[in-house]
Structure 1
Amino acid sequence: MSDRDQDARIGQIVTALVSLGRLLDPADMEDMLGAIGVEVDTGWEIVLERRMVRRADGNVVAFPGNTAPARE
């Protein structure tokens, strides 16, 4: 999906939310936007976690075995 397509889709979503905001009770709209915010935050957490996962095709060599110092 190109940047232009993404921008158009975001514009459609914002337009739909504004239209919906005219139909809903303000408290219901606030609750819905709060729920959407939680979903967006969760999505960003997943994106960040996936970026931190070690890649199988990485260029760093992992040392075999336990390399941490022994505890007494």
Structure 2
Amino acid sequence: MGKAYYDIVGTDDSWGVRHDNDPVGDYASKEAAFEAAVLAATNAIKFGHEVRITVPGSDSSETALGVVTN
């Protein structure tokens, strides 16, 4: 069984989905990126993979590259 991890990453006006450490897509909202990740995760589930989707909260300091800033 494989693993399929999807991380929603971005800023206020540009969001993407990081899968296998590669950011993919250009979405106008965090919600749109999440919906895209759910569609991809649905296919992964059909193939029997373990699935994880993470979405940062509004107070997160993570940037589009996944780097935490202080």
**TM-score normalized with structure 1 length:** 0.33
Bigger share in strand: 2
Higher RCO (C-alpha under 8 Å, 6+ residues apart)? 2
**TM-score normalized with structure 2 length:** 0.34
